[in-house]
Structure formats: structure tokens, C-alpha cells
């Protein structure tokens, strides 16, 4: 057995950021513990991080590049793989234009800057992300309204916290770890939870608001009206730092508290009680989640929640929703070379003319890509390069995704395993896990920190996404735009700090100096220098400068004609402690804890449908069906069906079970029914039916 050593690193089992100590013996990671010196987690770590060695050293890992042949997959070398990929990409650009190549990536692997750099230098404006339904809307609307993304300052000890559309104790999303919320609650903070399910967090809440799914915007309008009508807003802040107050108040009268109560199904008194607690407790903060973004009213939701933060004076104060100063490193936008994309190419971004706010942050709606492949509208897409993403499982309308992946001329996938998406590729590249890479972790986040993710092990011939893109970039462009080695790239990223990679590793992390109420010195980073409740950016983009409300396109209110056949409301996407979207289904210690997907239904509904706990049921929508095991629980109300997402079955070698329990067989991606500014798809609120498996048609 080789010598034992401990490597300080940073986990990426979910959104990343937790400092860890990796024990390595004989070239294998054998244990991962939380690092007490980690600035974010302070020694705490979740089960996904602890079980990371089972991911890295999994016997089913891809460890060498593969090419599809008539006889099946054949192993090839890296030079052969990259040479062929480079030649095919250049041929696509020569014949069809650079825009005919689409790059894509998934959630939170810290690789987005390198991917955008490759795309922008190659000349394609098309990068397929989760940004239309995850985090991107908060970034775009935050920039439009107040110049940045407001993030809860837990260190400032908020006295009241609204947890809206998320469950951070399980998900640890984006800039946050659930530990922060737990610490605040133990410290006496009051809690308001907005969630249709009675989660453990909802049970702990001082006020729980179990709204009808998809009506977050209506609740926000109700709270805003209660605050305005009762004079609970911070008059000094509104008078000096808000743009469009009078117009906003007039718009608010179109969505009064009585209307909000009717739409959400909540008692007016309960909405008013929550509004008073939030507005009259200082400091207070809103911890929002992705559920607010995955629907037609996405942009309105975000604008309204920022409005709540603003008019109560909780923006950029200690314990409120703050703007964290970045550490001295090269920003993701600069590393991604967005300014190098020619203007004529940016105009070709798929869906950019329709979803102009998404175009503003270089995000596209997936439907636009599938349409360009299947129908060559508005032009043909001939190549896909998908990195750390599994769209056949994670994107809406999986049947359409499958058809597009089968039709595209040339597809490359870089991932850890042969996923359902990788199974459709022409060439598959073995990506390295976080245990196998050096990088400046959390570079993309807005919490004011970056940390040293240090390589602990090497598995097979796997390479980091950074190395793959760096080497491929040299093959299709000017070598001077890339680096001799990834170590050189890391030194470049750190150059504003004056540190080398080695020095950064010894230090462990960099933190931007935090200041508050920056608006008193410099205003907000908007054209008016104020928080724009009336958005001049939205106005310039041709959208309503004031927020409104859009009912989900498939709900009991908007589509009553469907209720006879699909009488129940389907919600999806609740996080599971053991998985990260479609990841970890092959990690035995995690899969053992959740071997099959679960769909939660109320005991009354279970009795009516003759469904018992643990039985397989079929969930059906207008678009398709899938099977999941029944979990009978009163945590969901009668008439609601709460299904899990991200499911496939690595043990099923024929198709990997992509079409058995995949909830995205039921979801829709109609661009006419998406959020009009961001193109957010309706993943969370749909109509469905549910039956015993043997009763399904």
C-alpha cells in the first residue's frame, strides 16, 4: 500500500464550496472529511461529499475516450479523439457556419468560463445551459433591477428569513449551505416558509404559506400590497433609492391582497401576518430557490421578490440580502471572453430575438436547439458538444430531446459515465471528477469567495474539462488564446491577487472585502443608480418595465378543460439528499438509500386510486408517462402529485432506463408558453393523472 497523505480540497458533490480533507492511500481516495478551516462549511459536509470516493473510483467510470462504431464502442487515444473532434467542428463551421455548433453544460461544475471561452473564440453564440430555469433569471433580473444578485448575509444574523421555493437544508444551493440557515434558526431567527409541501423546514416555521403551486408571484403581490397599504415599507429608502415607486404602486392595485388570496388559496390574514413579520423585523432576508424560476411567471417572480427586499430596506445591509464584493481574481465573464464574440454572430443566438433577457446573459432555451436540429429552423444545427450535462434526463419533453440527439450529425459528450445522453454520442470523453482536478473553486458564484480545489487522485486516463477545452481550443483556433498548461491558466485567473497557484493553495481561499450600503456612496449599478421597480432595461428590451403576473399555462385556473382527464397538479424537482439532479444513480452507498424514484401523494388520493405505499404507479400527462413508486404521505395536500426528477437506471444496459421513470417525459417545452423574457420552461406546475401501474394504457 502506498504512503497515506491528506489533500486539502473543495467538494463539488452538489453546487460545491465545502472545504474537505481527502485521505489518499495507494493512489486512491479512501475518505473525505469536512475541513474545519473551510470558510464556507467550517468542517461540516453532506453525504454526497463523504461518498465521493465511490464516484471517482467506481468500476463503471469512463477512463479512456470512446468512438461509436458499427460493432459498438471502441477505445481510442486522446490525440486521435481530439484531432477528429477538431476536424469535424472545423468542417461544420466551414460548411454551415460557427453557429451550427452548440456547446452545452450542466449545473455547478465550475467549467462554464472555459466552455464560453471556447464557444466565443470558435464563433458560436449557442451555449446550452440550465440558465433559463436555474440561477440565470436571478442574475439577469438582479442586474436589471439593482445591478447585482442579492445574496442572504447569514453572517450578519438576519432576524427574519423567508425561505421561498427551496429547501436549503437538503439542496445547499448556489451561494448557500443549509448549515447557515440552521445556525440562524438556532440563534433565534424567525422563519417564514413558502412551499406547497409540508417539509421538515415548513414544520419548523413560524409561518408556513402552503400556496397553490405556481402562484408565487400572486403571493408576492399580496405581500407587497399589504406592506404598501399598511405603510410598513421603509419610507426613507423608497424616497431616495427607488425608481418608479408611483408607477409600481399603481400596478400593485391591479393585484390586491384579496385577489392574491383567491389565486394562491391562502387566507388573506395569513398573507398579511407574514408581510408584517417580514417588513417589521430588521434585518430580514429572502432565501429564494429554483422553484421560483421554473415556470412561465419566472421573471415576474424574481422582480417581485427583489421588490420586497428593496421596499423594506433590506438590500445590501448586514443580515439582509447583500451584494458581496468579489475577491481579486479574473471574473468568469472576462475568462469567458464574451467580448470576443463578433456582433454578427451574437445576433444569430438561437431564440435570442424572442427571449431577449436570456440573450442579455448569453443563455438559450433548449427548445430552440432541438428545433434547429429537427427542423433546421431558423438554421441547421449540425454539431453538439455536451459537457457535464445529461439533457435526455434533465430537460423538458424528453421524447423531443431524444429525437434531436439521434438526428444531429455529430455529437461529443464529456462525462464521468456512459449516461443516457452519452449513449447517443459519436465520441465520448472521460471527464475527471472534482477529486481529480486543480481549479479556483466557486469562481462563478457571488458570495465573495474563491477556494483552492486541489487534485487528490488520477483515475485512468480521465482529463479535466479545462484540459479538454484547452487542448481542443488549440486545434480549432489560435493557440495564443489558450495556455501551455492548466497550471498557467490557474495562474492567469489568480493574477489580480498577485498569487501563484502554489501560493493560493497554501492560503486556501481568497475573500473579497465585504462592505454594506454601497449605494450611499455610489448608488446602485443601474442606469438610474437606483433600485428599478420600473426597469429601464426591461423597457429597452421591449418588455413591460413593471412586473405583472402570468398564471401557469396548465393549471386548474388556466386549463379547466383538462381536469376531467388530468385532475391533479404535478410538481417536480424536490431535491434528494443523495443525488444531484441526474448524478449518483451508480454510486452504491447513495443509491442504496434511494433505490427507486418516489412519487408523493396524499392518503385520501391513495385511497381513491387504490394505491399503496411502495407500489409502482404510472404518472400521465398530455405529453407522456413514467413510473415511480408511491409514497403515501400527508406532507402533500390532496390533489397534488409530487414526483422526483433526474431518474435513469445505469444497471439497465439497454437504453439505461431513460424512458422508465424520467419525469421529463411529462413536462413541456413550448416556447409560446415559456417565460417571455428568459424562456423558462414549465417544469414545476402541470396537470396529470396517476394510476396503478397495471391500469395504465
Residue partners of 240: CB distance under 8 A and separation at least 6: none
Cβ–Cβ under 8 Å, residues 418 and 428: yes
| Cell matching residue 221 | 403581490
Cβ–Cβ under 8 Å, residues 393 and 665: no
Q: In sequence order, what are the beta bridge partners of 276?
A: none
Q: In sequence order, what are the beta bridge partners of 29?
A: 24
Cβ–Cβ under 8 Å, residues 573 and 325: no
CA distance 216 to 297: 8
Q: What share of the chain is helix, strand, coil (3-state, %, to 5)?
A: 35, 20, 45
Q: What is the DSSP letter of 383?
A: E
CA distance 456 to 253: 58
Q: In what order do the strands lie in the sheet with 5-10?
A: 5-10, 19-25, 28-34
Residue 283, preceding peptide bond in cis (omega within 30° of 0): yes
Q: In sequence order, what are the beta bridge partners of 642?
A: 571, 600
Largest Cα span, the chain: 73
| Cell matching residue 218 | 400572486
CA distance 184 to 618: 41
Cβ–Cβ under 8 Å, residues 372 and 344: no
**DSSP output for 667-678:** ----GGGS-TTT
Q: What is the pLDDT of residues 61-119, one digit of tens each?
A: 999 999 999 999 999 999 999 999 999 999 999 999 999 999 999 987 899 999 999 99
CA distance 153 to 516: 10
Check residue 1 and give its pLDDT: 53
Q: What is the DSSP letter of 253?
A: T
**Does an H or E element contain 15, and which?**
none
Model confidence, pTM: 0.96
- Positions of the chain with pLDDT lower than 70, given as ranges: 1-2, 695-697
Whole-angstrom CA distances from 324 to 151, 175, 515 are 8, 11, 8
The dihedral sign for the CA sequence 226, 231, 236, 240: positive
CA distance 333 to 590: 35
Residue 174 CA neighbour count, 13 Å, CB half: 19
**DSSP output for 231-291:** T-S-HHHHHHHEESHHHHHHHHTTS-HHHHHHHHT--HHHHHHHHHHHHTSSSEEEEE-GG
Q: What is the dihedral of CA 39, 45, 46, 52, to 10 degrees?
A: 110
CA distance 431 to 269: 53
Q: What is the dihedral of CA 634, 638, 640, 646, to 10 degrees?
A: 30
Residue with cell 400527508: 634
The residue among 165, 102, 663, 73 whose CA lies nearest residue 417 is 73
The residue among 4, 69, 109, 106 whose CA lies nearest residue 433 is 109
Residue with cell 420586497: 308
SS3 598: strand
Q: What is the pLDDT of residues 514-553, one digit of tens each?
A: 999 999 999 999 999 999 999 999 999 999 999 999 999 9
Residue partners of 77: CB distance under 8 A and separation at least 6: 64, 65
Residue with cell 472555459: 114
The residue among 630, 628, 626 whose CA lies nearest residue 611 is 630
Residue partners of 645: CB distance under 8 A and separation at least 6: 394, 572, 573, 581, 663, 664, 683
Domains of the chain as residue ranges with CATH = 66-134+327-511 (3.40.50.740), 152-321 (3.40.228.10), 560-695 (2.40.40.20)
Cβ–Cβ under 8 Å, residues 333 and 391: no
Check residue 108 and give its pLDDT: 73
Q: End-to-end CA distance of the chain, in Å?
A: 57
Residue with cell 447583500: 322
CA 238 to chain centre: 32
Check residue 157 and give its pLDDT: 97
Residue partners of 9: CB distance under 8 A and separation at least 6: 19, 20, 21, 22, 434, 435, 452, 453, 454, 455, 456
**DSSP output for 613-637:** TT-EEEEE-SS-EEEEEEEE-TTS-
Q: What is the DSSP letter of 132?
A: T
| Cell matching residue 492 | 492567469
Cβ–Cβ under 8 Å, residues 146 and 524: yes
Amino acid at each position: 500500500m502506498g504512503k497515506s497523505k491528506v489533500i486539502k480540497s473543495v467538494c463539488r458533490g452538489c453546487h460545491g464550496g465545502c472545504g474537505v480533507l481527502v485521505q489518499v492511500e495507494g493512489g486512491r481516495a479512501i475518505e473525505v472529511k469536512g475541513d474545519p478551516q473551510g470558510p464556507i462549511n467550517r468542517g461540516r459536509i453532506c453525504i454526497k461529499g463523504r461518498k465521493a470516493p465511490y464516484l471517482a473510483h467506481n468500476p463503471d467510470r469512463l477512463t479512456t475516450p470512446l468512438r461509436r462504431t458499427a460493432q459498438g464502442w471502441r477505445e481510442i487515444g486522446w490525440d486521435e479523439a481530439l484531432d477528429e473532434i477538431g476536424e469535424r467542428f472545423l468542417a461544420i463551421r466551414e460548411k454551415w457556419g460557427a453557429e451550427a455548433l452548440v456547446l452545452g453544460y450542466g449545473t455547478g461544475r465550475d467549467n462554464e468560463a472555459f466552455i464560453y471561452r471556447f464557444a466565443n473564440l470558435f464563433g458560436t453564440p449557442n451555449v446550452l445551459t440550465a440558465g433559463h430555469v436555474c440561477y440565470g433569471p436571478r442574475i439577469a433580473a438582479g442586474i436589471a433591477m439593482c445591478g447585482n444578485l442579492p445574496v442572504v448575509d447569514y453572517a450578519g444574523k438576519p432576524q427574519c428569513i423567508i425561505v421561498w421555493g427551496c429547501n436549503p437544508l437538503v439542496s445547499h444551493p448556489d451561494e448557500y449551505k443549509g448549515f447557515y440557515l440552521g445556525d440562524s434558526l438556532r440563534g433565534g431567527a424567525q422563519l417564514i416558509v413558502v412551499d406547497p409541501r409540508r417539509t421538515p423546514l415548513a414544520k419548523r416555521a413560524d409561518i408556513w404559506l402552503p400556496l397553490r403551486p405556481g402562484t408565487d408571484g400572486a403571493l408576492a403581490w399580496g405581500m407587497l400590497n399589504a406592506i404598501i397599504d399598511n405603510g410598513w415599507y421603509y419610507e426613507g429608502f423608497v424616497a431616495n433609492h427607488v425608481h418608479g415607486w408611483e408607477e409600481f404602486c399603481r400596478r400593485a392595485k391591479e393585484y390586491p391582497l384579496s385577489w392574491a388570496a383567491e389565486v394562491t388559496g391562502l387566507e388573506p390574514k395569513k398573507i398579511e401576518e407574514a408581510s408584517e413579520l417580514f417588513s417589521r423585523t430588521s434585518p430580514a432576508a429572502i432565501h429564494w430557490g429554483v422553484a421560483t424560476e421554473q415556470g412561465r411567471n419566472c421573471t415576474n417572480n424574481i422582480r417581485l421578490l427583489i421588490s420586497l427586499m428593496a421596499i423594506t430596506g433590506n438590500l445590501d445591509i448586514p443580515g439582509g440580502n447583500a451584494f458581496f464584493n468579489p475577491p481579486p481574481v479574473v471574473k468568469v465573464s472576462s475568462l469567458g471572453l464574451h467580448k470576443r464574440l463578433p456582433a454578427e454572430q451574437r445576433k444569430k443566438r438561437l431564440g435570442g430575438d424572442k427571449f431577449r433577457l436570456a440573450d442579455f446573459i448569453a443563455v438559450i432555451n433548449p427548445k430552440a436547439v432541438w428545433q434547429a436540429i429537427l427542423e433546421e429552423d431558423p438554421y441547421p444545427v449540425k454539431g453538439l458538444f455536451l459537457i457535464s450535462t445529461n439533457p435526455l434526463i434533465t430537460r423538458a419533453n424528453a421524447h423531443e430531446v431524444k429525437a434531436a440527439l439521434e438526428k444531429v450529425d455529430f455529437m461529443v459528450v464529456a462525462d464521468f459515465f456512459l449516461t443516457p445522453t452519452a449513449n447517443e454520442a459519436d465520441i465520448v470523453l472521460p471527464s475527471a471528477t472534482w477529486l481529480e482536478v486543480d481549479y479556483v473553486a466557486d469562481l462563478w458564484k457571488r458570495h465573495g469567495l474563491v477556494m483552492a480545489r486541489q487534485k487528490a487522485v488520477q483515475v485512468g486516463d480521465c482529463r479535466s474539462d479545462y484540459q479538454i477545452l484547452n487542448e481542443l481550443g488549440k486545434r480549432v483556433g489560435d493557440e495564443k488564446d489558450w495556455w501551455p498548461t492548466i497550471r498557467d491558466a490557474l495562474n492567469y485567473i489568480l493574477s489580480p491577487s498577485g498569487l501563484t497557484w502554489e501560493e493560493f493553495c497554501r492560503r486556501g481561499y481568497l475573500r473579497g472585502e465585504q462592505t454594506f450600503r454601497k449605494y450611499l456612496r455610489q448608488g446602485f449599478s443601474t442606469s438610474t443608480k437606483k433600485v428599478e421597480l420600473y426597469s429601464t432595461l426591461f423597457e429597452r428590451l421591449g418588455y413591460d418595465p413593471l412586473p405583472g403576473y402570468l398564471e401557469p399555462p396548465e393549471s386548474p385556473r388556466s386549463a379547466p378543460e383538462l381536469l376531467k382527464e388530468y385532475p391533479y397538479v404535478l410538481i417536480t424537482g424536490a431535491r434528494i439528499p443523495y443525488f444531484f439532479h441526474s448524478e449518483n444513480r451508480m454510486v452504491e452507498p447513495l443509491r442504496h438509500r434511494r433505490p427507486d424514484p418516489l412519487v408523493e401523494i396524499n392518503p385520501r388520493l391513495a385511497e381513491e386510486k387504490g394505491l399503496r405505499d411502495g407500489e409502482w404507479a404510472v404518472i400521465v400527462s398530455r405529453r407522456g408517462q413514467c413510473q415511480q413508486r408511491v409514497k403515501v404521505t400527508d406532507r402533500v395536500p390532496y390533489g397534488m402529485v409530487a414526483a422526483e426528477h433526474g431518474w435513469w437506471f445505469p444497471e439497465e444496459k439497454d437504453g439505461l432506463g431513460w424512458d422508465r421513470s424520467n419525469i421529463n417525459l411529462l413536462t413541456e417545452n413550448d416556447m409560446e408558453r415559456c417565460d417571455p423574457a428568459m424562456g423558462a420552461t414549465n417544469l414545476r406546475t402541470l396537470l396529470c393523472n396517476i394510476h396503478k401501474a397495471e391500469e395504465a394504457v
